[in-house]
Amino acid sequence: MSHANPSLVVAVDGTSGSGKSSTSRGVAERLGLRYLDTGAMFRAITWWLLREGVDVRDSDAVAAAVDAGRPGIESGTDPLGPTITVDGTDVSVDIRGEDVTAAVSPVSAVPQVRALLLDLQREVIGGGGIVVEGRDIGSVVWPDAQVKVYLSADPDARAARRSAELGGTDVASTQQSLLERDRIDSGRATAPLTMADGAVHVDSTHLTLAEVIETIVGLAASARP
């Protein structure tokens, strides 16, 4: 089904592991929209910094490397097969590795990283027709989004789901890692994770994926043009 409003932007923000990716892809598919995973872009920059041997805990070094290197990140926006490359290299698998996951939150707190990706994100969103997931989409990247969702779930539910996705990792340490990322993502000075003005809070703890998708499709159906 394609959506009647070609300029529609659906912003899906929320904590780590709250189901943003499956939900956003499902909504995009249902509505015939494109899909952008902005977390993958932060992961791609982090992958590049690690490959370049930059100390990712040193924000000055990260800022200098990004300013000097300007890595070229490209995101494919098909919800059935999203892609991401860095200077032409497919990094879609490597960006999900533990080393990138452990470093991505501190890297995302560096203003130069955010500035580089903000321009790219706005370029991809362009005229709309897209579901965009992240932490600051409704608040900073696209405050005019017609639909803004803040997706959350209890930490126990998030850790259990993420651990299953990762093939059965230890639930307690998975939960610790999610909460640590939330702490950094919510506490940073630039564009922290927050519930945007006008966002609808959807708590997915006791909902199935299909129910969350249905809720957002319903919000899109009644969105302003």
Contact residues toward ligand DC (CB under 6 A) are: 16, 38-39, 42-43, 104-105, 108, 134-137, 181, 185
User: How near is the Cβ of 88 to ligand DC at its closest, in Å?
Assistant: 21
User: How near is the Cβ of 150 to ligand DC at its closest, in Å?
Assistant: 13
User: How near is the Cβ of 113 to ligand DC at its closest, in Å?
Assistant: 9
DSSP for 33-101?
-EEEEHHHHHHHHHHHHHHTT--TT-HHHHHHHHHHH---EEEE--TTS-EEEETTEE-TTGGGSHHHH
Pick between residue 42 and residue 215 the one whose CB is nearest to ligand DC.
42
Print the SS3 string covering 172-195: HHHHHHHHHHHHHHHHCCCCCCCC
- Judged by DSSP in three states, 200 sits in strand
CB 35 within 8 A of CB 75: no
Pick between residue 32 and residue 144 the one whose CB is nearest to ligand DC.
144
Pick between residue 75 and residue 105 the one whose CB is nearest to ligand DC.
105
User: How near is the Cβ of 104 to ligand DC at its closest, in Å?
Assistant: 4
Among residues 98, 103, 203, 106, the alpha carbon closest in space to that of 149 is found at 203
Distances in Å between the Cα of 97 and the Cα atoms of 6, 43, 44, 90, 94 are: 35, 10, 11, 14, 5
- Euclidean distance between the first and the last CA atom of the chain, given in angstroms as a whole number: 17
Pick between residue 116 and residue 136 the one whose CB is nearest to ligand DC.
136
Pick between residue 1 and residue 189 the one whose CB is nearest to ligand DC.
189
User: How near is the Cβ of 132 to ligand DC at its closest, in Å?
Assistant: 8
User: How near is the Cβ of 136 to ligand DC at its closest, in Å?
Assistant: 5
Pick between residue 5 and residue 165 the one whose CB is nearest to ligand DC.
165
Give every CB contact of residue 19 below 8 A, 6+ residues apart in sequence: 151, 153, 161, 204, 209, 212
Tokens (6 digits) for 73: 């990140």
